[in-house]
Amino acid sequence: MPTFDVVSEVDRQELRNAVDQAQREVTTRFDFKDTNSTIELSDTEIRLHSSTEDRLRALRQVLEEKLVKRQVSLKALEWGKVEEAAKSSSRQAATINAGIADAKARELNKFLKELGLKGVSSQTQGEQIRVQGKKRDDLQAAIAAIKEHDFGIPLQFQNFRD
pLDDT given for residue 1 in this prediction = 85
Q: Kindly report the number of other CB atoms within 10 A of residue 84's CB atom.
A: 10
pLDDT given for residue 133 in this prediction = 92
Cα–chain center distance at 73: 5
CATH 3.30.70.990 in the chain is located at: 12-96
CATH topology of domain 3-8+100-161: Alpha-Beta Plaits (3.30.70)
Contact yes or no for 41/93 (Cβ under 8 A):
no
* 65-89 pLDDT, tens digit each: 999 999 999 999 999 999 988 878 8
At position 32, the amino acid (one-letter code) is F
* 82-136 pLDDT, tens digit each: 998 887 889 999 999 888 999 999 999 999 999 988 889 999 998 999 999 999 9
Q: Kindly report the number of other CB atoms within 10 A of residue 159's CB atom.
A: 10
At position 28, the amino acid (one-letter code) is T
CATH topology of domain 12-96: Alpha-Beta Plaits (3.30.70)
pLDDT given for residue 9 in this prediction = 92
Alpha helix ranges (H) inside 9-135: 12-28, 53-69, 102-115
* Confidence label for 21 from pLDDT (cuts 50, 70 and 90): very high
As a whole number, the mean pLDDT across the chain is 91
With H, G, I as helix, E, B as strand and everything else as coil, classify residue 64: helix
CATH 3.30.70.860 in the chain is located at: 3-8+100-161
Calpha distance 126→54 (Å, rounded):
40
